[in-house]
Amino acid sequence: MADTALKTATFAGGCFWCMQGEFDHIDGVSKVMAGYTGGTTRNPTYEQVAHGDTGHVEAIEITYDPKKASYQKLLDIFWEILIRWMSTASSATKAVNTAPVSSTMTTSRRSWRKPRRKK
């Protein structure tokens, strides 16, 4: 029987691998998947997204139990991570990964892309 009480939250901006580890240990979080959101390129590679050619930003999709971890708690953690990341990331990295954050956070789930390395 599937647990229909689980919800998902998608947060974009900054480095997805930096964010992923921060949420993995939160009580109530059952899955954290790194990927991309927004953009126009179908199935972009990590290198294409990192270069800034696709319009995608790095994002994480969190599956969580709202009875154990509220959306507000997850959002507060996201902002803490993003503020810390913005104080340490290079200017070029920040420009590529954070420019469309506000619009990306509302992008439909259909645009979700898992990262893949160029072969």
Query: In this structure, is residue 117 part of a structural domain?
Result: no
Provide the domain limits for residue 83: 7-97
Give the integer Cα–Cα distance in Å for 43 and 90: 26
Query: In this structure, is residue 109 part of a structural domain?
Result: no
Q: CATH number of the domain at 78, please.
A: 3.30.1060.10
Q: What phi-psi label fits residue 52: left (phi over 0), alpha (psi between -120 and 50 degrees) or beta? A: left
Query: In this structure, is residue 68 part of a structural domain?
Result: yes
Query: In this structure, is residue 111 part of a structural domain?
Result: no
Whole-model pTM: value is 0.69
pLDDT at 2 over 90: no
pLDDT digits (tens, 9 = 90+) for 73-104: 999 998 888 887 767 655 444 444 444 343 33
- Is 15 known to be catalytic? yes
SS3 category, 11: strand
Q: Determine which one of 2, 5, 10, 15 is catalytic.
A: 15
Number of domains in the chain: 1
